[in-house]
Structure 1
Amino acid sequence: MSDQISRPAHLIGQAKRDKLVAEVSHRVATVAPFTITIGSVLSYASGAIADTHPDHQLAALHTVARDSTRATLGDDARQYEFGIQHLTTAYAYAEADSDAAQRLLRRVRTSHAPLEVNAIHLVDVTADPPAKTINWEEVMRIPLGTALGRVSDAARR
């Protein structure tokens, strides 16, 4: 799951970042870690994505994250609309035959895998169009469920 803050990261000062971390931490403290199934990977014009199932807990966590952004940075900072929950595994940067890509993706076995969701990662994302790369720099990792007293070992790492 990702959500895009509709404001360049360099325009969000340290005080606002600290407030966002505090807000997200407070809100996800009561969200228990959960496991979803990822797969199969599908070829799309924009890249390769995997469906998530069941996705109701992931959608609820997404809403918590978005509400934290709104509470901290205002409604205008959260303009990106999300659709069906999914995991993007690759982005396309040129035209290609999606049927050929899908045939290769269909050979991936096991086609489904469990994924434990136990934290939110706040990241700065920048694109480098000439290099055709997207770079992620972690700002903070915020574990889920800290107020519940049952944060998993994986979440503590």
Structure 2
Amino acid sequence: MKAFHPTFGTKPWPDGLRVLQVYALPDLPEGSALRTLFVGLRKALAGLPVEPLSDDRAHITLDMITDAPAAAIGTAERAELADRLRAEVAGLGPIALQAGSPIAYRTGVRLDLHPDDRLAVLQHRVRAAVHRVRGAESTGYPLGVLHMTAGYAIADTDSDELAQIVHRVRPGHAPFTVGRIVLVEVSWRRVVPSGGDEPVWRIDWDTIETVPLDR
């Protein structure tokens, strides 16, 4: 496993640059199986070179606007993006998914998502919405198998050992629902964590608009 470095499309993401993205957010009620899985993963990753995500930063990346930073996209265009997202996802309804098993990936720990066919439909509707507003060249984010990241590698480490550690976390799977998407202004910053010596990349975002997946 290699240390994680965020990318703006396919290029390195400058520290502090703010970018517009669209996320699907998991419903995480108190006591839910997904919360329990996240807690188990954070315990398992303690002391390892992986920075786990907090519950309030759990997300599924659907798309990223890569032709311009957030500062270049004004209020009127953001409102238009929100309106187009509502129109494109109307009637899709909440999506039931299962997260897990945890996977030691190239730059961190991911949760596989199943069944992901309706999630893929959602992603393509989101991309269509962005293209309707900003054009087909606005999204350089590569589409692939959708997932939810549980932690980012902060240094090179043995993936085989990490794979065994996360495989022992129980429950290894968790049902959950995606009931909303959000248009967000995202930044990555290099910060030194409490009790740490080396800086790590940490994600933060401000929500511009929340779009419920109503039927």
**Shorter-chain TM-score range:** 0.7 to 0.9
Shift of residue 108 of structure 1? 1.1
Match of residue 37 from structure 1:
98
**1:139 and 2:208 are equivalent in the alignment:** yes
Shift of residue 143 of structure 1? 0.1
* Letter aligned with residue 73 of structure 2: I
Give 5+ residue unaligned stretches, structure 2: 1-59, 192-198
**1:99 and 2:168 are equivalent in the alignment:** no
Match of residue 4 from structure 1:
64
Give the Cα separation in 2 of the matches to 1:106 and 1:30.
37
- 2:88 aligned to which of 27, 30, 34: 27
3-state DSSP class of the match of 1:76?
coil
Give the Cα separation in 1 of the matches to 2:80 and 2:147.
28
**Cα-to-partner distance string for 1:25-68 (whole Å, 9 max, x where unaligned):** 11112111120111001011211111111110000000011111
Q: How does 1:58-73 map to 2 (within 5 A)?
A: 58-73=119-134
- 2:136 aligned to which of 75, 83, 86: 75
3-state DSSP class of the match of 1:118?
strand
Shift of residue 93 of structure 1? 2.6
3-state DSSP class of the match of 2:137?
helix
Match of residue 109 from structure 1:
170
**Count of residues in Structure 1 that have an aligned counterpart in Structure 2:** 146
The two structures, once aligned, show a CA RMSD in angstroms of: 1.3
Give the Cα separation in 2 of the matches to 1:104 and 1:137.
33
**Cα-to-partner distance string for 1:87-116 (whole Å, 9 max, x where unaligned):** 111122321111222122111111111120
The sequence identity of aligned pairs, in percent, is 34
Report the TM-score when normalising by structure 1: 0.87
**Which 10-residue stretch deviates more, 18-27 or 98-107?**
98-107
Greater fraction helix: 1
